[in-house]
Amino acid sequence: MEGPEFRKHLEERADLSPRKREVLSLAHETLLPARVETWVGAGIPLVIGRREGYRITDLDGRELLDFHLNGGTYNLGHRHPELVRTLTEALADLDIGNHHFASEERALLARALVEKTPGELRYTVFTASGTEANDVAIRSARRATGRRKVVGLESGFHGSAGLAGAAGRDRTARAFLSDYPEEFVTVPFGDLHAMEEALAAGDVAAVLMETIPATQGFPVPPPAYLPGVLSLCREHGTLFVADEVQTGLGRTGQLWGVETFGVEPDILVTGKGLSGGLYPISAVVLGTRAGAWLREEGWGFVSTFGGAELGCRVASRVLEICSDAATLEHGRQIAERMASGLEEICGRRPFLRGVRRVGLVMGLETAHPTGAIQLCRALYEHGVWAIFAGFDLSVLQWKPGLLLDEATCDEALERLDAALAGLEPDPAFEAGRA
Ligand SMILES: Cc1ncc(COP(=O)(O)O)c(C=O)c1O
């Protein structure tokens, strides 16, 4: 739709305030025409205004519980008061810093990450985004092994630029002629046999996978899967890269998702929540072999904004909060409370056919091929913001925050129940799955 036509369409929408129409129209003109049209067309014209804790306010004034958390960016809530204070105080004496030199803030956070990650990880490289962090992980594995090939999951997402964009499902990379089909291979999730075949030739630098694939709606790995992949990697000289951008920082009940599955990766990637939702920062934590290049190439990777000192201050506090035993215990308890509420709703609402869950990492399976879009909209109308899984539109990502309190947990369950009341299962879809 062209700009003037879309503007006219917005003007006909009585449900939108003039301010919201203005923002949507401006974003359509100069920012994201297709995306804005999609949300407006789907009946979810969300423009986030005020935000605090696990609540956001739509520009129209309606309050929503945030159960998307932008992939875990707001794991600790929006504008966590202590993190806001940390950042504000840091502004009194810090700025981004100069990435060419040693820095106290970066070194302290690097050490904290090395200490708090499992196994023998010993170096940290900072980046601004998770995409870049995955890119560095791939480059490190290639350099360490002298091999180019990377195996990922068909259901994997690791970012939309560079090498990370070509890994996992590469539909978007292909659309921009940025795929590398010879070098990036995918296998189905949960299939150890396919993984073994992919690694058998001994030419694979890295297996790069999310501990629980988010964009696929968090399918739970069978207990033997991740340890099985790790042992295949060891057998074939391949490095195991755990993308913990969504599953790290306490969301599974342990600090890192891989710990829940008893796996010690060669490289661990973290991002999103590390920022406290306040200052962009992501990191790759590398083992001795993967990080050998850091002893050889002083400038093997440079990033002006990677490890910005302001971000390091915030991230250091985020890491302390997320790894605190009481925080992790709270997360486990709230996850149990949420899970039993979901189970109860599941028994009464046939549209909700199942719940996938590891700690606070949750996917709601609906009984309709595009049920998660319907549920996303119904939830929006009932005061909850939660997003469908992009690679499986029957599953809704359901992300309770790590610090969620019991009352808000129960409130979210009530709103979910009300949203489900108006939704009908698709018998053909159900029959097809049987
Ligand atoms: C699992 C995973 N890895 C990597 C990324 C890319 O992170 P960023 O958007 O910070 O580049 C994302 C973003 O959604 C993600 O979900």
Pick the last residue of a domain from 323, 355, 379: 323
pLDDT digits (tens, 9 = 90+) for 261-273: 999 999 999 999 9
* pLDDT category of residue 15 using cuts at 50, 70 and 90: confident
Q: Exposure of 398 by Cβ count < 10 A (0-12 exposed, 13-18 middle, 19+ buried)?
A: buried
| 362 beta partners | 357, 398
Check pocket membership of 216 for ligand 1, CB cut-off 6 A. no
d(CA 42, CA 56): 20
Distance CA 374, CA 366 (A): 10
Structural domain containing residue 102: 81-323
Q: Are residues 102 and 120 in the same domain?
A: yes
On the question of pLDDT at 114 being above 90, the answer is yes
pLDDT of residue 2: 86
pLDDT of 434 reads 63
**Strand (E) or helix (H) holding 339:** helix 325-348
Judgement on whether residues 316 and 332 belong to the same structural domain of the protein: no
> Which residue of 160, 245, 282 sits with most ligand 1 atoms within 8 Å of its CB, as the best mutation to test the pocket?
245
Pairing mode, strands 149-153 and 204-210: parallel
| Mean pLDDT of all residues in 245-264 | 98
Mutate-to-test residue for ligand 1 from 157, 208, 282, highest number of ligand atoms within 8 A of CB: 157
Q: Of 293, 323, 353, which residue constitutes the final position of a domain?
A: 323
DSSP H helical ranges for 270-324: 293-296, 309-323
Instruction: Say if 63 falls within a structural domain.
Output: no
**Residue for token digits 């992949």?**
229
In the predicted model, is pLDDT for residue 433 greater than 90?
A: no
Mean pLDDT of 64-80: 98
Number of structural domains (the chain) is 3
By CB neighbour count within 10 A (0-12 exposed, 13-18 middle, 19+ buried), where does 43 fall?
middle
Average pLDDT over every residue of 188-194: 98
Domain co-membership, 5 together with 124: no
User: What share of the chain has pLDDT > 90, as a percent?
Assistant: 94
Closest C-alpha to ligand 1, atom 3:
158
Residues 310 and 331 in one domain: no
* Dist CA 358 CA 336 (whole Å): 10
Which ligand 1 atom is the nearest neighbour of the CA of 159? 6
Q: What is the mean pLDDT of the chain?
A: 97
Residue 4's pLDDT band (cuts 50, 70, 90): confident
Residue 254 falls within a domain, yes or no?
yes
| Mutation probe of ligand 1 site: the residue of 272, 279, 397 with most atoms within 8 A of C-beta | 272
214: Cβ below 6 Å to ligand 1?
A: yes
145 & 36 share domain: no
CATH number, residue 373: 3.90.1150.10
* Whole-number pLDDT of residue 1: 82
Phi, psi for residue 325 in degrees, rounded to 5: -60, -40
Q: In the predicted model, what is the mean pLDDT of residues 92-105? A: 97
| 377 shares a domain with 269 | no
- 367 within some domain: yes
**Which tens digit of pLDDT belongs to each residue from 336-380?**
999 999 999 999 999 999 999 999 999 999 999 999 999 999 999
**131 CA distance to ligand 1 centroid (A)?**
6
pLDDT (average), residues 23-27:
96
Q: Based on the domain organization, do 364 and 407 belong to the same domain?
A: yes
Quick check: 59 pLDDT over 80?
yes
| Residues 271 and 347 placed together within one structural domain of the fold | no
Smallest CA separation from ligand 1 atom 2, residue: 158
Residue 427 in this model has a pLDDT that exceeds 70: yes
Q: What three-state secondary structure class fits 341?
A: helix
Same domain, 16 and 104: no
Atom of ligand 1 nearest to the CA of 210: 1
Is the confidence at residue 87, as pLDDT, over 70?
yes
Residue 14 has pLDDT above 90, yes or no: no
Looking at the fold, whether 308 and 348 belong to one and the same domain comes out as no
Domain for residue 31, yes or no?
yes
| pLDDT band for position 198 (cuts 50, 70, 90) | very high
Residue 69: pLDDT over 70: yes
pTM above 0.75, yes or no: yes
Do 156 and 288 belong together in one domain? yes
Is a pLDDT exceeding 70 seen at residue 148?
Answer: yes
- Looking at residues 108-124, what average pLDDT do you find? 97
In a domain, 236, yes or no: yes
Name the percent of the chain lying above pLDDT 70: 100
Same domain for 34 and 115, yes or no, is no
SS3 356: strand
**Where is average pLDDT lowest: 6-10, 135-139, 234-238, 243-247?**
6-10
Pull the structure tokens for residue 418: 């009300």
